[in-house]
């Protein structure tokens, strides 16, 4: 539906997009996730036609957009730095897209559409207020509302929840995909928040340095991350990455204290990845390690326990009952199932270690 091929874009000496490839399917909710400066906003602007690429093609619904003006692309975009009319009421701001010749609606229908969008965004009580008097979070919802009121082939949303407080953000995150217009419309959604991407994305594209590093469903990205940086980007506490070498018998940490059952060419320098929730305290089915408690920290109904094994620190998440009474330096056993181990090449400067496919 939205297909970007070989997109390059430089601003002076800064390369914003470096051969970007992206394929968003019809009707899908696609999250573009990446750190600040990765090229997310530039990607959206390229799709919207606000930034002509230096090279590459943009197709929307099978049509090359090269000579198509932004207004004629049929996409509705919501920027993080939203353009609203500060002196006009919220209602007027929401109504103005419906006054354009293309989207004009009979007054009664417009009122109904605006009413239901305002309701969904929790701004029904603000309709008469001038936008200039609203908080940032309220303005952000008005800006999102302006996108959702009119029909579009695709919605382009740039961090539309970034200014909401944590609680509202969580609620809106849960509701956003349920909004009829969003369900029906292909959506390209930009975020730097991996929790948001995992919660919302039918598929996720991880962008870094102006390129898509990996595209996949949340399961694919979680269980088969392309490299250590993708693995680090998802999951809190972060994935454990233990440095060491592959021997004939499996993995051996640099200090020789940790051995794990992995397979790869002997002699390869690697990082073994294991997520904190895939480690259990005590014995059980799987591979067992022994160490001592370094520190414990309650997180909600669970406890993050950091275990020291030789020079390595392994973080795990345990139910509170299992971690109750643990003190620093207590001896503990930690169990991991071999199928939960991920194997990566060692990181190099400028290039995070790729996952080694067994
Ligand atoms: N108009 C511009 N002039 C010069 N450099 C720009 C311009 N717009 C973007 N850049 C640069 O291009 C790169 C990509 O920027 P972009 O805004 O697309 O990143 P982003 O992933 O959206 O980041 P953020 O999450 O911080 O918004 C950055 O290095 C940025 O400084």
CA distance 235 to 330: 27
pLDDT of residue 163: 85
Predicted confidence (pLDDT) at residue 107 exceeds the cutoff of 90: no
pLDDT of residue 94: 93
Q: Are residues 217 and 270 part of one domain?
A: no
Q: Are residues 210 and 253 part of one domain?
A: no
Strand pairing of 240-247 and 250-253? antiparallel
Residue 358's pLDDT band (cuts 50, 70, 90):
low
Q: Are residues 147 and 200 part of one domain?
A: yes
Tell me which of 233, 263, 283 is where a domain ends.
Answer: 233
The finding on whether 42 has its CB within 6 A of some atom of ligand 1 is: yes
Q: Using the structure block, give the residue that is written with the tokens 């200039």.
A: 132
Q: Are residues 203 and 89 part of one domain?
A: yes
At 25-37, the pLDDT tens digits run 999 999 999 999 9
CATH number of the domain to which 322 belongs? 2.40.50.140
Asked if residue 358 is part of any domain, the answer here is: no
The structure's pTM equals: 0.91
Residue 318's pLDDT band (cuts 50, 70, 90):
very high
Q: Are residues 246 and 184 part of one domain?
A: no
pLDDT of residue 211: 96
15, 33, 38: residue to mutate for ligand 1 pocket, most atoms within 8 A of CB:
38
The alpha helices in 162-319, defined as continuous H runs, are 166-176, 180-184, 194-200, 218-223, 228-233
Q: Are residues 214 and 287 part of one domain?
A: no
> How many C-alpha atoms does 6 have within 13 Å on its Cβ side?
4
Residues 6+ apart with CB under 8 A from 185: 27, 151, 152, 153, 154, 155
Q: Are residues 245 and 125 part of one domain?
A: no
Tell me which of 203, 233, 263 is where a domain ends.
Answer: 233
At 243-272, the pLDDT tens digits run 999 999 999 998 889 999 998 899 999 999
17 alpha carbon to ligand 1 midpoint, in Å?
9
The mean pLDDT of the chain is: 92
204 alpha carbon to ligand 1 midpoint, in Å?
20
Give the total number of structural domains in the chain: 2
**Among 55, 70, 3, 56, CA closest to 30:** 3
pLDDT of residue 69: 93
Asked if residue 324 is part of any domain, the answer here is: yes
Asked if residue 23 is part of any domain, the answer here is: yes
Residue 303's pLDDT band (cuts 50, 70, 90):
very high
The finding on whether 40 has its CB within 6 A of some atom of ligand 1 is: yes
Residue 281 φ/ψ region, left for φ over 0, alpha for ψ in the -120 to 50 degree band, beta for the rest: beta
Q: Are residues 307 and 203 part of one domain?
A: no
pLDDT of residue 151: 86
Predicted confidence (pLDDT) at residue 357 exceeds the cutoff of 80: yes
At 74-83, the pLDDT tens digits run 999 887 666 7
pLDDT of residue 199: 92
Residue 90's pLDDT band (cuts 50, 70, 90):
very high
Asked if residue 351 is part of any domain, the answer here is: no
| 110 vs 296: which has the higher pLDDT | 296
For the purposes of burial, counting CB atoms within 10 Å of the CB of 122, is it exposed (0-12), middle (13-18) or buried (19 or more)?
A: middle
Peptide bond into 237 cis (omega under 30): yes
The finding on whether 93 has its CB within 6 A of some atom of ligand 1 is: no
Asked if residue 283 is part of any domain, the answer here is: yes
Tell me which of 201, 233, 265 is where a domain ends.
Answer: 233
Q: Are residues 127 and 43 part of one domain?
A: yes
Residue 6's pLDDT band (cuts 50, 70, 90):
very high
231 alpha carbon to ligand 1 midpoint, in Å?
24
CATH number of the domain to which 33 belongs? 3.40.50.300
Q: Are residues 178 and 62 part of one domain?
A: yes
Q: Are residues 6 and 119 part of one domain?
A: yes
Asked if residue 357 is part of any domain, the answer here is: no
pLDDT of residue 80: 63
Asked if residue 352 is part of any domain, the answer here is: no
Please give the residue range of the domain that contains residue 297: 240-345
Return the percentage of the chain with pLDDT > 90, whole number.
74
Nearest CA to ligand 1 atom 24: 36
**Among 349, 355, 36, 6, CA closest to 207:** 36
At 142-188, the pLDDT tens digits run 999 999 998 899 999 999 988 888 888 888 888 888 887 888 899 99
Q: Are residues 317 and 168 part of one domain?
A: no
| Mean pLDDT value of segment 46-70 | 95
């Amino acid at each position: 539906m939205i297909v970007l091929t070989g997109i390059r874009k430089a601003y002076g000496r800064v390369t914003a997009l470096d051969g970007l490839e992206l394929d968003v399917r019809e009707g899908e909710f696609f999250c573009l996730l990446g750190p600040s400066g990765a090229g997310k906003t530039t990607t959206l602007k390229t799709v919207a036609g606000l930034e002509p690429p230096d090279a590459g093609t943009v197709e929307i619904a099978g049509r090359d957009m090269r000579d198509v003006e932004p207004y004629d692309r049929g996409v509705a975009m919501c920027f993080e730095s939203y353009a609203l009319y500060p002196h006009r009421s919220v209602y007027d701001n929401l109504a103005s897209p419906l006054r354009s010749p293309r989207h004009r609606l009979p007054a009664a229908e417009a009122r109904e559409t605006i009413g239901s969008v305002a309701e969904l965004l929790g701004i029904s009580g603000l309709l008469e207020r001038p936008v200039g008097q609203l908080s940032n979070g309220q303005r952000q919802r008005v800006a999102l509302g302006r996108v959702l009121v009119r029909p579009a082939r695709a919605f382009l949303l740039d961090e539309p929840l970034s200014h909401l407080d944590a609680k509202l953000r969580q609620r809106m995150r849960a509701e956003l995909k349920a909004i009829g217009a969003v369900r029906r419309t292909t959506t390209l959604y930009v975020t730097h928040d991996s929790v948001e991407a995992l919660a919302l994305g039918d598929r996720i594209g991880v962008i870094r340095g102006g390129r898509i590093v990996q595209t996949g469903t949340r399961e694919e990205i979680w269980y088969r991350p392309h490299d250590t940086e993708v693995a680090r980007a998802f999951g809190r506490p972060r994935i454990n990455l233990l440095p060491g070498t592959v021997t004939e018998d499996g993995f051996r940490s640099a200090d020789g204290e940790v051995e794990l059952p992995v397979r790869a060419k002997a002699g390869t320098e690697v990082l073994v990845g294991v997520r904190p929730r895939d480690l259990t305290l005590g014995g059980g089915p799987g591979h067992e390690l022994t160490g001592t408690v370094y520190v414990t920290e309650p997180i909600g109904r669970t406890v993050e326990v950091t275990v020291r094994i030789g020079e390595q620190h392994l973080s795990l998440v345990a139910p509170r009952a299992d971690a109750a009474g643990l003190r620093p330096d207590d001896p503990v056993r930690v169990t991991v199932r071999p199928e939960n181990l991920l194997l990566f090449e060692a990181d190099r400067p400028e290039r995070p270690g790729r996952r080694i496919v067994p």
